[in-house]
Amino acid sequence: MKYIKNRQEYIDFYDLLTIEECLQWIELVKESGKKIQEIQKPEKLGYVGALAEIALYFKKGENYRKKEKTIDEWMERDKRSQEKYDNTHEPQNVFCNECNYGMKLFDKTLNQKLDDKPRMLFFFECPHCKKRKGIFEDGENFETDKKCPQCGSILDSKTTKKDEIITITDNCKKCDYGYKDVWDFKADEEKSRKEKERQKYLLDNFRSEFCLSEKEGEEYVMDRIRDENFKKRENEQKKKEDDPKYQKAMKLRKIKVIELQKIIEEVITKNEFNNLIFDKPETDRQIIIPFSVQETKNERSGYDGSRNLKRAIIKVLENTNWRLMSDGISERLGILSGKLKGYEKEEDLVKIVKQ
């Protein structure tokens, strides 16, 4: 039994799904109501309308984007099945229930039910009476007796073969349940041959149309990444702009040193100081300007003077991009000094506005 196939078979299968998805979409737009199986040999497509084209662009691109990963997963799954099939040991010492002879392994299969862990199933035959039984890898017996879905008793099952047609009839002895299943191998073979032919036709005629080459695919992926980044930036910008702190920060008046000097000059005059001197600025991420003023009122205490000046400067700068630095104002012998800090960048301005 071979579970793992060569990569090209997986690629063909994946491409076929893409082709069918796209063709199905076109049928949907045309409102033909055709199902995938009915789309036998479509003609050249032609123009399908702008809206359909856009949807197709994304279908093709997204299928390209998921292609490698999906194929890797399929191959990985089949590799696991293959390993399980090849390497699981059959149960030992299996004896016939009828005559107690040691039974011989004659077949094995991987039992795969949906949502279930696949288990290996081994079939044994008694060399003496030819009775057969199936045992799972974990020792559980495989139930061969079919049970009646109506009353639960064991069904009387008969298989007849005529030419290539196998007929299975199940009848219940206890109730009126009966079931007939017909397998026509020749018809199945014909159906499968036709399906393969259809698949080949689709691959030959539509692969280049719907399955992107690496170059086209990578272009699509890059475009999507650009789009996503743009959207992300847009969202971040919007979020930022919606923040009241940001809105406040953007309303701050950005002033240059010359205007700052004028403002401070006015404040100190009003508060009875003079001789404003701006020292050499320190330029870093922000601009820091040390300054000093002189007390004009001999009777005012150093503490009162620096407190008054501090309050006045903080207030007058509140709506600008300048701040009195946190050391505040110091005073010695009537000289009051402090530092002013100027902010330029958006993120810094957001930090200096009050909540």
Q: Which residues bind Zn ion (CB under 5 A)?
A: 96, 98-99, 101, 126, 128-129, 131, 148, 150-151, 172, 174-175, 177
Residue with tokens 């030419």: 163
Cα separation, 157 vs 147, in Å, equals 10
Q: CB of residue 155 vs Zn ion: minimum separation in angstroms? A: 7
Q: Whose Cβ is closer to Zn ion: residue 172's or residue 317's?
A: 172
Q: Whose Cβ is closer to Zn ion: residue 174's or residue 232's?
A: 174
Q: CB of residue 169 vs Zn ion: minimum separation in angstroms? A: 14
Q: Whose Cβ is closer to Zn ion: residue 99's or residue 105's?
A: 99
What one-character DSSP code corresponds to residue 121? E
Q: Whose Cβ is closer to Zn ion: residue 133's or residue 198's?
A: 133
Cα separation, 355 vs 303, in Å, equals 29
Residues 324 and 317: beta-carbon distance below 8 Å: yes
Q: Whose Cβ is closer to Zn ion: residue 10's or residue 122's?
A: 122
DSSP string, 249-295: HHHSB---HHHHHHHHHHHHHHTTEEEEEE-PPEESSSEEEEEEEEE
Tokens standing for residue 208: 């280049």
Cα separation, 14 vs 5, in Å, equals 14
Alpha helices in the chain (DSSP H): 7-29, 50-87, 185-210, 214-242, 244-251, 257-270, 302-317, 346-352
Q: CB of residue 123 vs Zn ion: minimum separation in angstroms? A: 14
**Residues linked to residue 160 through DSSP beta bridges, in sequence order:** 167
Q: CB of residue 142 vs Zn ion: minimum separation in angstroms? A: 17
Q: CB of residue 167 vs Zn ion: minimum separation in angstroms? A: 20
Q: Whose Cβ is closer to Zn ion: residue 100's or residue 235's?
A: 100
Q: CB of residue 166 vs Zn ion: minimum separation in angstroms? A: 23
